[in-house]
Amino acid sequence: MANIEAIDLFCGVGGLTSGLTTSGIRVVAGIDIDKSCRFPFEANHPAARFVELDVAALTGQQLEAMWSSGTTRLLAGCAPCQPFSSYTRGKGVGHAKWGMLEQFARLVKETKPDLVTMENVPGLQRQEPFQLFLKTLKKCGFHVAYGVLNAADYGVPQQRKRLVLLASRHGPVTLPVPTHPGKEHWVTVRKAIEDLPKLQHGRTSKNDAIHRAASLSPLNLKRIRASKPGGTWRDWPQELVATCHTKESGKHSAGVYGRMTWDAPAPTMTTLCNGFGNGRFGHPKQNRAISLREAAIFQSFPQNYIFGEPGKDVSSKTVARLIGNAVPPKLAEAVGRQLLGAVR
């Protein structure tokens, strides 16, 4: 098997690193400007070095010093995707965000690694920054494959469509074949979280600091009690319906204030995935939103993955952001296995 060493740009809490490591790739460093990522990244990946640094300030020479000599070098990452997501499109997200893809391309040119992989939102493929990234790869001698994959097809208990790119200077490369192809093979909400301890809204499990559910207002508690798995706020008595949903602009917002269904994957986890009113994030049976631990499991993180330092309180908002922004480890694992096969 090839001896691949990876550097994870924009590593976040370590979802991509987790999956690559499980596949058999050694991740030597994770780089991110967000200091809240340091502890969870290092706690879960002690063999990798966390570098708190803006990727725009990172040089190819610094990267070269992180890889061992004689290894197959992989540069991996998920550049910030806000400018290309359906949620933020048209909200004025500027060059400072999409410019991170330019920095990724710059580092590819400076280091010319053997392999490159990138994960991002599907809308990126239609934008000029992605086309320029492709041109950079081809000029540097890479064979490239990319496409939109559904994470549910790779064992992630979540519907999450992502643009995935693999590139190799060793020869042609292809996208990973689904390990859980189609609805009959998808991992469901039931299989993922049914065995977790029951939890009331506003409470935290005594055995797991992030099996923690947000508090519900009296009105939202009435709303979730009136909600059906897979249903919408249209099922509620009229007095529970929010004023904004009675207006023309809100009539199509059926995906908020919803419960998940047991026998299908969860919806896409976002940075607000622990809030009942932010999507279909209601527990299928219990009268609460999903906990942070459940959100992490829906992203396919191991159930014992550490997100905060023991004895220190980490805000739910921070943990939800780290989870929602992560690359699903199971999807990353499929990518890692594909890259290992490409250089044998």
The predicted-structure confidence for 83-132, as pLDDT tens digits, reads as follows 544 444 444 444 455 579 999 999 999 999 999 999 999 999 989 999 99
The pLDDT assigned to 91 comes to: 45
Predicted pLDDT of residue 251: 53
> Who's near 195: CB < 8 A, 6+ residues apart?
none
CATH 3.90.120.10 in the chain, residue ranges: 189-324
DSSP state for residue 229 in the 8-state scheme: B
pTM for the complete prediction?
0.93
Q: What pLDDT is stored for residue 89 in this prediction?
A: 44
Q: How far apart are CA 217 and CA 215, in angstroms?
A: 7
Q: Is 39 helix (H, G, I), strand (E, B) or coil?
A: helix
The SS3 assignment for 27 reads: strand
pLDDT at position 99 is 75
Mean pLDDT for 18-26 is: 98
The residue from 81, 140, 244, 273 that is catalytic is: 81
Closest by alpha carbon to 170, among 77, 105, 78, 74? 74
pLDDT in tens, 67-81: 999 999 999 999 886
User: Given this model, what pLDDT does residue 145 score?
Assistant: 98
C-alpha–C-alpha distance, residues 275 and 292, integer Å = 10
- What span, in angstroms and rounded, lies between the C-alpha atoms of 338 and 322? 26
The mean pLDDT of 138-149, rounded to a whole number, is 97
- Using a 10 angstrom Cβ sphere, with 0-12 exposed, 13-18 middle and 19 or more buried, the burial of residue 71 is middle
Query: What is the SS3 assignment for 267-313?
Result: CCCCCCCCCHHHCCCECCCCCCECCHHHHHHHCCCCCCCCCCCCCCC
CA 342/CA 336 separation, integer angstroms: 10
Could you give phi then psi for residue 232, rounded to 5 degrees?
-140, 175
Spell out the residues 6+ positions from residue 215 whose beta carbon is closer than 8 angstroms to its own: 201, 202
Separation between Cα atoms, residue 280 and residue 291, nearest integer Å:
13
pLDDT at position 80? 83
Query: What architecture (CATH level 2) is domain 189-324?
Result: Alpha-Beta Complex (3.90)
Out of 5-9, 24-28, 94-98, 101-105, least confident range? 94-98
Q: Tell me if residue 273 is catalytic.
A: no
- How many other C-beta atoms are found inside a 10 Å radius of the C-beta of residue 167? 28
Name the more confident of 28 and 127.
Answer: 28
Least confident of 1-5, 97-101, 150-154, 257-261: 97-101
Across the chain, mean pLDDT equals 92
Residues 63, 73: Cα–Cα separation, whole Å? 10
Between CA 135 and CA 168 the distance in angstroms is 14
- 31 with 9: CB under 8 angstroms? yes
pLDDT digits (tens, 9 = 90+) for 185-223: 999 999 999 999 999 999 999 999 999 999 999 999 999
Total residue count of the chain as it appears in this document: 344
What is the spatial distance between Cα 321 and Cα 13, in angstroms, rounded to a whole number? 10
More confident residue, 246 or 93: 246
- Residue 318 identity (one-letter amino acid): T
Query: What is the reported pLDDT for 16?
Result: 98
CATH no. for 4-184+327-342: 3.40.50.150
Task: Please classify residue 37 by burial: count the beta carbons closer than 10 Å to its beta carbon, then call 0-12 exposed, 13-18 middle and 19+ buried.
Answer: buried
User: Quick check: 13 and 326 in contact, CB under 8 A?
Assistant: yes
Structure tokens that stand for 319 in this block: 């943990």
Indicate where the chain has its CATH 3.40.50.150 domain(s): 4-184+327-342
Q: Could you tell me the two tokens for 127?
A: 């934008």
The type of residue at 161 is: K
Report helix, strand and coil shares of the chain as percent, to nearest 5: 40, 15, 45
Instruction: Please compute the mean of the pLDDT values over residues 132-142 and round it to a whole number.
Output: 97
Q: Is the pLDDT of residue 275 over 60?
A: yes
| Percentage, residues of the chain above pLDDT 70 | 92
Contact 76, 125 (CB under 8 A): no
- As a whole number of Å, the end-to-end CA separation of the chain is 6
pLDDT > 90 fraction of the chain, expressed in percent and rounded: 84
